[in-house]
Structure 1
Amino acid sequence: MTTPTAQIVDAAAYAQAVEDAVKAAAAYYTGGTSPLGDDAYDQLVRGIAAWEADRPDEVLPGSPTGKVAGGAVEGDVPHTVAMLSLDNVFSPEEFTAWTTSLSRRIGHEVEQFSVEAKLDGLAVAARYTRGRLTRLITRGDGTAGEDVSHAIGTIEGLPLELTEPVTVELRGEILMTTTQFEHANEVRTEHGGQPFANPRGASAGTLRAKDRDYTVPMTFFGYGLLPLPETEKGLAVQLGEAAHSELMDQAATYGVNTTATTAVPGITTTGVEETLARVQEIAALRADLPFGIDGVVIKADLAADQQAAGAGSRAPRWAVAYKLPAVEKITRLLAVEWNVGRTGIIAPRAVLEPVIIDGATITYATLHNPADITRRDLRLGDHVMVHRAGDVIPRVEAPVAHLRTGEEQPIVFPESCPHCGSGIDTSEQRWRCENGRNCHLVAALSYAAGRDQLDIEGLGATRVVQLVDAGLVTDLADLFTLTREQLLDLERMGATSTDNLLAAIAAARSRPLSRVLCALGVRGTGRSMSRRIARYFATMDNIRAADAEAMQQVEGIGTEKAPSIVAELAELAPLIDKLAAAGVNMTEPGATPPAVTVVDADSGAGSAETADGPLAGMTVVVTGAMTGALEKLSRNQMNELIERAGGRSSSSVSRKTTLVVAGEGAGSKRAKAEDLGVRLASPDEFATLIAAFLE
């Protein structure tokens, strides 16, 4: 399957397409925001190329084909070696065809490929003289770029001085991580500016800005290392003969940031199948990366192959970009809905003109909170940048201010709770109904009684409504003080159903602390996080005694989330006391305080894994239908079992995965495990391994 091509029917349409493409490229390369999405731009350029292929004598001089950056940007500092763009492929078939063409060009099959994530930032050249950073230049039109040396010192990963006093040029990408982007927009709006639409636009604007009274950090990732005319001869020869993977290793020894430190390090592969497998691995990790990528760069790794392939006027023939589906596009904000969650949080939701992103039709997107709407200056009718990656909930990034017509209208905030009409607590960024959980008491109780929380069979939403309407239950703890007489007085509650419900409630008293914590619905936590907290602290008393610093020792809890969790637990203190008084369990089986902290070598985060157990130190993925002793366990119960046995549960297979439990119908995850050489186990084999921990 290939990316569709825009159909151009006549010379007038061709001229208009050229004009639209150049304008879009100029907006993208100079400000990071374009009136066309990536998919639409790619289709347009392909249509232009198809028209020109049939009419080579009618090609307009301004055409974006065959030009770096679509011919939209220029520069005044000459590059010592042309800084080219990359040709694109969009499917395995197109990539296979490219490798065949490359092999034919160099006279043999490519021995080794280098495969790296294609970072969504701005390409720059950093020149070092005797180890000191002296000049920073944008790619420009490929032959000359813009001098942005004023930004030196504001870019993480780009050292002012290398570890060795060498004269070299580093090429790489400057971008903003998600955290840096959010910080940049906060600072920018505090100083009266419009928020950036996306991280790339933020990077482009920040890199070029010279006279701002504030600075925001950016990040550099190196992807190339080459000699300058002044480079010592021996080093120049060494760099000229080194494979790309060796150059990246050398850059890292100089103290330069590369993707080697990320979840998607550059690796070498052999053959088409192995290379395409790595493309899929990177694509699967895309949604969880702390920075944006829009594809995968594949290069002939060996210098001899690169030299034999050569380069065209726009792109090298030995490298290609395998483009991934776009994860952000521009659409219109039609309306804003205000929804109230089970904890009383009032959340705005954007209603959008439908747009297809990453294969899904997006009609709604999160707007975070009222403060975020104000900070981004969003208005009804705005063209907005919408971001979606993988299964992540789509979010509205910012308005595309230059597309405003003047007819946009302000967004009206609610003055009272949209659900119950009570007052609104606006003291924090996330507004909340003054009734808190009681605003949506039925939803909160139904959630708490769910299978993955307290698992109270027979307590569905209809029964919860009965209990609330009768005044028998005003919070979660009241469930555990219900009497047989009270239940028998309710409609459609006979002796058998009453006894069964009371037995289920009694059983819920002994659920593990992790289930109780999850049932409370603390903001910022869920099933997995509740398990980690419970296993780390072991008792509710320890959890309640923890301050923000202690809470951050739990894997996945950072500096922003920790204080809110601590604050909400303090707010829930009366309910927790009431639950304890009703005999609800407040300890986690198998966890011993203080928990042993295992530091993840990649993230540096602490984990509350146990130091012993048959799965100690293992990362386990469960896929397919379980059978035998595991047949009746839900996926959440399986995850609990893994963690009780000392392991760590995960939903995706990667090189870090230790074991994949593959049941009936296991598909892509099993195949990926086989490709990566990850150990496989059947449900029965796994049950035998953790038999001591099965209830």
Structure 2
Amino acid sequence: MDGMTTTPVLADAAAYARAAVDAQQAAAAYYAGGTSPLDDDAYDRLSRSIAAWEAAHPDQVHADSPTGKVAGGAAGGDVPHTRPMLSLDNVFSGDQFTAWASSLERRIGRSVERWSVEPKLDGLAVAARYERGRLARIVTRGDGTAGEDVSHAIGTVVGLPERLAEEATLEVRGEVLMTTDQFEAANPVRVAHGGEPFANPRNAAAGTLRARDRAYTVEMTFFAYDVLPSGEAGGPAGATAVEPAAGGLEHWPHSELLAYAAALGLHTSAATAVPGRVVTGAGVVLDRVAEIAALRAELPFGIDGIVIKADLAADRRDAGSGSRAPRWAVAYKLPAVEKITRLLGVEWNVGRTGIIAPRAVLEPVEIDGSTVTYATLHNPSDITRRDLRLGDHVMVYKAGDIIPRVEAPVARLRTGEEEPIGFPEACPQCGSEIDRSEQRWRCVRGRDCHLVASLSYAVGRDQLDIEGLGVSRIVQLVDAALVADLADLFTLTRERLLGLDRMGETSADNLLAAIATARTRPLSRVLCALGVRGTGRSMSRRIARHFATMDHIRAADAEAMRQVEGIGAEKAPVIVAELAELASVVDKLVAVGVNMTEPGVTPPPPPGSETQPPEGAREAGPLAGLAVVVTGAMTGPLQALSRNQMNELIERAGGKSSSSVSRRTGLVVAGEKAGSKRDKAEDLGIRLMDPDEFAAMLGDFLPR
């Protein structure tokens, strides 16, 4: 979670002066139109190197230095703020936050009883002024003293209503951003009207908010992070003129201000997966920071950190503010998940289901702790929609274990030497025709196109787990026409196997024994082995536990499939269609005796039946209703289980596997070298077990 990177050292005064100018120009380009040539990480490292040089040479500070200035200062504006609209200081680790919190408590002479912890939304800060409940003006942050009037955007920003739920006169401050979906919809519209694509959602919001007199409109979203009483524009810094209806907002806790904003009809983080929360103690603050950081990759909008504020008004008042940032709030910055690099080429790969997927070949770049050389391009229409070209500088996004993706080209860095990306005329794997009827192109041969890859996946450890069937052996079986689909593996005989090169009697007997064992795998494993598009290991387990038998799964229509957790309106019909396509293979698997039921699950009643399974029938087991985290090296009966098999075991026993420890965690299984997750469980008072205790508890559910 700690995201601090090495600060580059500036060699001399000339290097410092160049760095200051580069930072000023990058900020001006970003805040004027969202087109900065630097990504966030590069800009942050540049700013830190400038600050380090200035700390050592305080008498040589350049006029263009970004230090000591409010973010956005390069843009300016002519609308005075009712109060200074400041930036936030940053911390990059738990130790830095703890030191900052201690300094705040020393400043105010007491402990901070309540902290507000909320996501730091990656957008553009604005102040929205309401007069008797009507949105009258939107102003950008600018230099913190005055900003730009962008009231032309009224009516295009979701979450910033033109009228509030009551006739309040006040000012709401927050971030305007584009969600992932809004960004996906905006760039094609922009390109269709002759504009260059935006590099990422943040840049898109910054450029769109300022744009006037466009022939088209694209949607943005607002999230409130503060509410102020109305004040005289242009009045003394810090002056307030409290509206009687506002009820002395400057005396409210920060968390109550946000609740009030939500009640007025404004967007806040409260309705998201990472709502702002009030906590006590610096240790619990860091727990909440970790929880938000763990959800970052799944959010439908960008965050670049977590904002931590003293919640009580008295603490904020006594702490005061500096010229650039308040002393009662800080931003815990997360590691950069976006970087700019060059698109060197595009590879076209055929997956195990016949999907033809483009993959970007990148100039290597370090993102989120790993070196990225490849990234997904999703599909051909995605390449066209983003107007990508070979040689482009591109914005690449990666968070956690999520596969890196190319977001968009940085069009302003084009030299004119970029070239169009060529699309395949035939399947790059087998040369057959390509089905282009959907966004994701597919070889007309489907799974048969890449049978070796399909079978290799099916026999893997987390699917059917057939030891002795490596890629080379599968190639032999396919080339010898012994196997044409998954079910054919279960028809292999000793005589046929002994006819293969380098296959002895012992190897043949061992392989046949492994295949016999594979017949008994639970339905979830069989379903996963089939490689149904739109599913994976965890989704296959959910489907199997929901329906209990393959017959029930095959009988489900799209509406029934949508009842499974995590399956939406788009995915459900794809899964149903895939299962129909696999009908002949499933029939063959049934015929050769492969198990088609999920152990420990009550089958649902027949369609139309009034009989319902007893409440909790699907959650029976010693872990019923518990979120379980497994950490460290397992020993004893659990030692041989893979992480996927552990997750499978937990779910069979009625629990839900999780990767992070939080207050919602019910049990932590801590093996050898468990580390920080064990420590966190102890701090939160969560029940701990060692692997032997856990195995004894789940004795009836352990694999035989």
**TM-score, normalising length: structure 1:** 0.91
CA gap of 1:59–1:690, structure 2 versus 1, over 3 A, is closer
The CA RMSD over aligned residues, in Å, is: 2.7
Question: How far 1:409 sits from its partner (Å)?
Answer: 1.4
- The 3 A distance-change label for structure 1 pair 495 and 618 is same
Contact 2:229 2:243 in 1 (8 A): no
2:452 is the counterpart of 1:431: no
Q: 444-453 or 498-507, which moves further after superposition?
A: 498-507
Closer/same/farther in 2, CA of residues 317 and 557 from structure 1, 3 Å limit = same
Question: In structure 2, the residue corresponding to 1:610 is in which secondary structure?
Answer: helix
- How far residue 52 of structure 1 moved from its aligned partner, in angstroms, is 4.2
Q: Which residue of 1 aligns with 2:390?
A: 380
In the alignment, which residue of structure 2 is the partner of 1:90? 92
Q: What corresponds to 2:591 in structure 1?
A: 581
Q: How does 1:679-694 map to 2 (within 5 A)?
A: 679-694=687-702
2:498 is the alignment partner of 1:488 = yes
SS of the counterpart of 1:639? Answer: helix
Distance of aligned partners of 1:195 and 1:573 in 2 relative to their CA distance in 1, 3 Å threshold: farther
Deviations 1:132-158 (A, max 9, x none): 333322212212222333333333333
Summarize deviations over 1:605-629 as a string: whole Å, max 9, x none: xx99814333222222222333344
What is residue 604 of structure 1 aligned with on the other side?
none
User: Match for residue 68 of structure 1?
Assistant: 70
Whether 1:350 aligns to 2:352 is no
Q: Corresponding residue for 1:318?
A: 328
TM-superposed deviation, 1:195: 2.8
Mean alpha-carbon deviation: is it higher for 373-382 or for 357-366?
Answer: 357-366
Q: Is the 8 A contact 2:169 2:246 kept in 1?
A: no
Give 1:189 shift. Answer: 4.1
- In 2, are the aligned partners of 1:554 and 1:608 still within 8 Å (CA)? no
- TM-fit CA distance, 1:332: 0.9
Distance 1:594 1:73 in 2: 62
What is the CA-CA distance between 1:180 and the residue it aligns to? 2.5
Verify the 8 A CA contact 1:358 1:389 in the aligned structure 2: yes
> Where does the alignment leave 5 or more consecutive residues of structure 2 unmatched?
233-240, 607-614
Contact 1:609 1:647 in 2 (8 A): no
CA change 1:564–1:193 in 2 (3 A) is farther
Which residue of structure 1 lines up, in the alignment, with residue 421 of structure 2?
Answer: 411
Whichever residue aligns with residue 290 of structure 1, its letter is: P
CA-CA distance at 1:66 after TM superposition: 2.0
Q: Relative to 1, partners in 2 of residues 1:622 and 1:97: Cα closer, same or farther, differing over 3 Å?
A: closer
- Runs of 4+ aligned residues of structure 1 deviating over 6 Å after TM superposition are none
| Aligned: 1:40 with 2:63 | no
Provide the residue aligned with 2:163 in structure 1: 161
Instruction: Name the counterpart of 1:268.
Output: 278
Q: Which amino acid aligns with 2:591?
A: A
Counterpart secondary structure, 2:248: helix
The residue that corresponds to 1:640 in the other structure is: 648
Q: In the alignment, which residue of structure 1 is the partner of 2:612? A: none
Q: Is the 8 A contact 2:171 2:230 kept in 1?
A: yes
Q: String of CA shifts for 1:387-409, please: whole Å, max 9, x gaps.
A: 11112111111110000011111
Residue of 298, 323, 344 corresponding to 2:308: 298
State the partner residue of 1:472: 482
- Compared with structure 1, are the counterparts of its residues 23 and 379 closer, same or farther at alpha carbon in structure 2 (3 Å cutoff)? same
**1:176 is matched with which residue: 175, 178, 181?**
178
Q: Percent of pairs identical after alignment?
A: 75
Report the count of equivalent residues.
Answer: 685
Moved more, 580-589 or 113-122: 580-589
Question: Is 1:663 aligned to residue 671 of structure 2?
Answer: yes
Instruction: Tell me the equivalent position of 2:570.
Output: 560
Counterpart amino acid of 1:78? P
Match of 1:17 in 2: 19
1:559-580 alpha-carbon deviations (Å, 9 max, x no partner): 3322322232222222222322
Q: Identify which of 223, 226, 234 aligns with 1:224.
A: 226
Q: Deviations over 1:339-397 (max 9, x none)?
A: 22222222222121121222222222111122211111111111111111112111111
Query: CA contact under 8 A between 2:54 and 2:61: conserved in structure 1?
Result: yes
- In structure 2, C-alpha distance between the alignment counterparts of 1:623 and 1:150, rounded to whole Å: 53
Give the 5 Å matches for 1:101-120.
Answer: 101-120=103-122
The CA distance in 2 between the partners of 1:6 and 1:686, in whole Å, is 48
Matches within 5 A, 1:196-215: 196-215=198-217
Return the TM-score normalized by structure 2: 0.90
Give the stretch that moved more between structures: 520-529 or 501-510. Answer: 501-510
The residue type equivalent to 1:630 in the other structure is L
List alignment gaps of at least 5 residues for structure 1.
597-606
Write the letter of the residue equivalent to 2:561: M
The answer to whether residue 384 in structure 2 is matched with residue 365 in structure 1 is: no
Cα-to-partner distance string for 1:227-249 (whole Å, 9 max, x where unaligned): 00387655556311122223223
Q: 1:404-446: CA deviations, max 9, x gaps?
A: 0111111222223333333333222222233322222122112
Give the direction of change, closer, same or farther, for the CA distance of 1:79–1:223 in structure 2 (3 Å limit).
Answer: same
Q: Residue type matched to 1:133 in 2? A: L
Once residues 12 and 408 of structure 1 are traced to their aligned partners in structure 2, the CA distance between those partners, rounded to angstroms, is 34
Please report how far the alpha carbon of residue 226 of structure 1 lies from its aligned counterpart in structure 2 after TM superposition: 1.1
SS state of the match for residue 135, structure 1? strand
Separation in 2, partners of 1:394, 1:592? 40
Distance 2:499 2:40 in 1: 63
Quote the offset at 1:106 in angstroms.
Answer: 2.8
Q: What is the match of residue 257 of structure 1? A: 267
Shift of 1:172: 1.1
